[in-house]
Amino acid sequence: MRAALAEASAALATGDVPIGAVVLDASGAVVGTGRNVRERDADPTGHAEVVALREAARARGEWRLTGCTLVVTLEPCTMCAGAAVLARVDRVVFGAYDDKAGAVGSLWDVVRDRRLNHRPEVLAGVLEAESVALLDGFFAEHR
């Protein structure tokens, strides 16, 4: 989670919401990193999780990320939760809950929907205070 927090902090330089993500392989090695790049790239899909999943898939040479863990500072939205399911990650770990758009338990629970063919394990609230502080600081400056 500390690596994801570092990615989130780096997003501040481009005016993006400070959300960071890393993908770890089964041995715990980082195979993908990402931060929000929506502002920088003018890309509505430029969420930290999507960026990290894409990088991990390129590094592994396949889209199936079986055995991997997606670690992200904020609870994934519906798009990112869906991407985690489709990438077949084994688990999703996140820091802060997102009561406005969270899709891993807050508003929706995409990753544990029994109608889908893959359901990652979820670990929530990891370094939650640090994740919340980074987001709160960003939004305090932009209000």
- Catalytic residue list contains 49: yes
Residue 142 is assigned to a ligand binding site: no
CB–CB of 15/62 below 8 Å?
no
Maximum Cα–Cα distance for the chain, whole Å? Answer: 42
Catalytic residue among 49, 62, 75, 128: 49
Residue 118 is assigned to a ligand binding site: no
Residue 47 is assigned to a ligand binding site: yes
Residue corresponding to tokens 């359901």:
119
| Residue ranges of the binding site for Zn(2+) | 47, 77, 80
Positions annotated as catalytic residues are 49
**Binding-site positions:** 47, 77, 80
